[in-house]
Structure 1
């Protein structure tokens, strides 16, 4: 996890909130079913501390891949091992970013093995800023580089563990400068689970189990239909 998210806020509002200059390639919003390999909004900061909001492919492609599907789809990086993995260890030092979303989905299983989806958001209603790493990948034929990104995950806090044993690393606003490299080094302590009261969630329709599903009803609270005898 996380393997699916929703982005519902206008990109100009996101740019203003994160004090980032918007690029001209931002994804269309709202998107209530953002899937891996599609474009997601990402904030980066350059050497001068200037932030940019741009789109990146969700699924980091290591520079040694010959083609995008040359190995595992790296949509997430485990915070516990990110400094050891060849695909991530350089990026975590030099190319940190924030993936922006309104919420993300996780699944539990019912007694029959069916997958029940849950939509997870911040309790305070603010957008989620997920710790992430980015990598430019250039195909062997030398075409234009593709900018790709992976979100960091860590062990779930006690509250979140009721849904899943992992959760994305959530960066609070006060820590954005440190994670983006604007406030010096020492960002490793940020790669931790969020406090217990950060998130809330509700059951949503199984319609979102399909990566082709679309529409605001995907994040609405699902109510079971009672069957009565007639």
Structure 2
């Protein structure tokens, strides 16, 4: 599961990292509380090379008549992505990378209170979430939409949640983006334990209206 994340990198930094051409309509950064249905920063590859462009976080299958015609599809399980009618075509032909700096997850106390955690790379570098995308809507007014692929949690992440985003290392990017032929399915596995670290953050982030760098600061 990945329900909220952080982007704290400049647009030109993202473009250099992924060797991508940038769109003029990218959402502003930083954003310390990226929520479902927000526009997010996505890398996809095509005939003109890699592009960094905005997409709606919330995959919309072609048969949805409206944006709320079915479940909000922000995640796609790696175990079933090739079988689900909503995802199977995109899994084969429309893979992408969502760029993040970190993401949030929650545990619960015995009383049911939600305790937020901030997860980032141990090296504090950019995180490349494996994603899939789909154009949706009338041809004259189409929007690009996407979902994050998730896997069972590795041993380290399982301490706070049973699932995690599929995180790609740089050597994996060409295969996931379709630039290095077939075989992307072998990338759909939990990441190594040593890649991520996490710490508790304040409950302010429980609100999807919260903002500011203080959301990722550690608390006791």
User: TM-score w.r.t. structure 2 length?
Assistant: 0.98
Describe the SS at the equivalent of 1:70. coil
- Output aligned runs, 1:73-112, within 5 Å: 73-112=72-111
Partner of 1:217: 214
Question: Per-residue deviation at 1:143?
Answer: 4.2
Name the CA distance, whole Å, in 1 between partners of 2:129 and 2:57: 12
1:24 correspondence with 2:24: yes
Give ranges in structure 1 of 5+ residues lacking alignment.
224-230
For residue 168 of structure 2, the aligned residue among 140, 151, 171 is 171
Q: Deviations over 1:168-187 (max 9, x none)?
A: 00010011000000000111
Give ranges in structure 2 of 5+ residues lacking alignment.
none
User: TM-score w.r.t. structure 1 length?
Assistant: 0.94
Question: Per-residue deviation at 1:138?
Answer: 1.1
Q: How many residues align?
A: 220
- Output aligned runs, 1:63-212, within 5 Å: 63-139=62-138, 143-212=140-209
More helix by share: 2
Name the CA distance, whole Å, in 1 between partners of 2:90 and 2:118: 29
Question: Per-residue deviation at 1:20?
Answer: 0.4
Name the CA distance, whole Å, in 2 between partners of 1:80 and 1:57: 23
Moved over 6 A (4+): none
Q: What do you get for the CA RMSD once the two structures are aligned? A: 0.9
Question: Per-residue deviation at 1:47?
Answer: 3.4
